[in-house]
Amino acid sequence: MSATDTTGAGGTSSGANRPDPDPTGRRALRRRRARSVAGTLLSLALTLVGLLLVTFIIGRVMPIDPVLKVVGDRATQAQYDAAYVAMGLDRPLVVQFVTYIGDVLTGDFGRSISTGQPVAQDIARVFPATVELATLGTLIGVLIGVPLGVIAAARRGGIIDQVARVVALVGYSMPIFWLGLMGLLIFYGMLGWVGGPGRQGIIYDGMVPDVTGMILVDSLLAGDWAAFQDAFSHIILPASLLGYYSLAYISRMTRSFMLEQLSAEYVITARVKGMSEGAVIWRHAFRNIAIPLVTVIALSFGSLLEGSVLTEIIFSWPGLGSYITRALLSGDMNAVLGGTVVIGVCFVVLNLFSDILYRVLDPRSK
C-alpha cells in the first residue's frame, strides 16, 4: 500500500523538473491531487485498522474461549495454561493488537486454530471459491436484472413490470436456505441437469493444476474441457441462486433510477423531437443511470464476496463466508481477522473501482 503511495508522489515530482509555462497553477493542482491521493490512502489505511480494532475487541470480549478449541474439553489445567501462554493470550490486549498489526504488515496473518494451518494459506484456498461464485452470481444478476429493470420502467404497469415486481418480491422474501434446497431437489435430484453439492465431481478432483484456485478458470487454462463442464455444472445452481437475489435488488434499483430519468424534461424533449423510444431509453436515459447503477452493482458484488454462508453450507461450497463463521464460533480470531482484512480490502478496492468508473462514465469529470 505504501509502495503505491510513493510511486504516485514520485510521478508528480519528476514532472516538476521540466520547464513549466504556468508553474504556480499546475503545481498547485498537482499538489492538490497528490494530497487527495495521499488523503484517500491514509483514510483507507485508517479504515482498515479501525475495522481490525473493532473485530479484535469483539473477538476478545466474546464469551468463547479459543484455548479450549485448541486443547479440547479433556485438557488438564496445566495443558490449558501452556496453550494459553503459547497463544500469547497472557499479554495485555494492547500489546496483542499491536503485535498482530505488526505481523499483518509483514504478511503474517498467524495460524488458524480451527484448521491448524496458516490463515493466509486458508484464505488463499477459500477465497477463490467465493470469488468464482460471487462473480458468476453478479454476472447473472446484472445480465438479467438491468434489462429487466429498464423494460419494467419503460413499460410501467405492463406485464413485464408486473413480472419483475413478483420476481423481486419473491427474491426479497424467500429464505435462501429453502430455495437452495428446492433448487437442488429439482435440478439435481429430479432432473439431473446439474452437479450436486461440492465444487467438482469426484473423478475430476485434483485433475486440474491449481493456478488461480478458481476451477472454472484453471480448467480453461489447462484446456481441460471436461473438467470445465463438470465444474460449471456444479457452480451454475448456487451461482444462479445468488444471481437471483442480486437480480431482485438490481432490477428494482434500475427500475426506480430509470423512472426518475424518464420523467425528466430532456426525455420529453427527445420524444417531442421524434426520436425513437429505443434511442430515448438506451441512448439517453440509460446513460444517465449508469453511474448510480455502478454503485449498486459494486455493493451487490461486495456483499456476495463476503460469502453467502447459507448458500455455502447447502452446496458444500468451501468459501470465505462459512470459513469466517466457523472461525467465529470457535473463537478462532486469527482466522476471523484475516477474513475481515480480505473483505475490508475488497470493499475498498470496489469503492476505488466504482470511483474510477464514475470518472470514465461521467463526461463532466473529464
Partner 1 sequence: MTIRLTTRALLLASALGLAPAAWAETPADTLVVAHTIDDIISLDPAQSFEFAGNDVNNNTYDRLVDFDPLNPEAGFQPSLAESWEVSEDGTSITFTLRDGVTFHSGNPVRAEDAAWSLQRAVKLDKTPAFILTQFGFTADNVEEMITADGNQLTLTLDKPYAPSFVLNSLTGNIASVVDKETVLANEQDGDLGNGWLSTNEAGSGAYELAAWRPNEQVQLTAFEDYWQGAPEMKRVIVRNVAESSAQRLLLEQGDIDVARNLTPTDVDSISAAEGVKIEDEPRGRILYMGLNQKDELLSNPAVIEAMKHLVDYEGITGSFLKGQFVTHQSFLPLGYLGVLEEQPWTYDVEKARQILTDAGIDGGTITTRVRDLREYVDVAQALQASMAQVGLTLNIEQMTGAQVLDAYRAREVPIFLGEWGPDYSDPNTNAATFAYNPDNSDEANAVGLLAWRNAYAVPEEMNEATVAATLEQDTEKRAQMYKDIQRQYQAEAPIVPLFQRIEQVAMRDNVQDWWSGGAVTSVIYRQVTKGE
Contact residues toward partner 1 (CB under 8 A) are: 63-65, 68-77, 79-80, 82, 113-117, 122, 125-126, 181, 184-185, 188-189, 192-198, 201-203, 205-206, 226, 229-230, 232-234, 236, 313-316, 318, 322-323, 326, 329-331
Nearer to partner 1, 331 or 338 (CB): 331
- Tell me which DSSP letter residue 365 carries: G
Nearer to partner 1, 15 or 198 (CB): 198
Q: Is the distance from CB of 169 to CB of 272 less than 8 angstroms?
A: no
Nearer to partner 1, 63 or 274 (CB): 63
Nearer to partner 1, 36 or 121 (CB): 121
> What single-letter amino acid sits at 332?
D
The Cα–Cα gap between 210 and 204 comes to 13
**C-beta of 78: minimal distance to partner 1 in Å?**
8
Q: Which alpha helices (H) appear in the chain, and where do they start and end?
A: 2-15, 23-61, 66-71, 77-86, 93-105, 119-154, 159-173, 176-183, 215-221, 225-262, 265-272, 277-278, 286-305, 309-314, 320-329, 333-361
**C-beta of 103: minimal distance to partner 1 in Å?**
18
Using DSSP, state whether 260 is helix, strand or coil: helix
Q: Residue 288 is placed in which grid cell? A: 444517465
Nearer to partner 1, 195 or 339 (CB): 195
Nearer to partner 1, 174 or 290 (CB): 174
**C-beta of 274: minimal distance to partner 1 in Å?**
39
**C-beta of 141: minimal distance to partner 1 in Å?**
20
**C-beta of 191: minimal distance to partner 1 in Å?**
8
Nearer to partner 1, 63 or 223 (CB): 63
The Cα–Cα gap between 204 and 333 comes to 34
**C-beta of 325: minimal distance to partner 1 in Å?**
11
Nearer to partner 1, 133 or 154 (CB): 133
Q: Residue 263 is placed in which grid cell? A: 420523467
DSSP 187-231: IIIIS--S--SSSS-GGGTTTS--SSS-HHHHHHHTT-HHHHHHH
The Cα–Cα gap between 338 and 80 comes to 25
Q: Give which of 110, 6, 40 is closest to 341, Cα–Cα.
A: 110
**C-beta of 87: minimal distance to partner 1 in Å?**
13
**C-beta of 184: minimal distance to partner 1 in Å?**
6
The Cα–Cα gap between 305 and 116 comes to 24
Nearer to partner 1, 45 or 82 (CB): 82
**C-beta of 144: minimal distance to partner 1 in Å?**
17
DSSP 19-73: --SSHHHHHHHHHHHHHHHHHHHHHHHHHHHHHHHHHHHHHHHSS--HHHHHH-T
**C-beta of 81: minimal distance to partner 1 in Å?**
11
The Cα–Cα gap between 9 and 209 comes to 40
Nearer to partner 1, 116 or 278 (CB): 116
Tally of CB atoms within 10 A around 239:
26
Using DSSP, state whether 118 is helix, strand or coil: strand
The Cα–Cα gap between 152 and 133 comes to 28
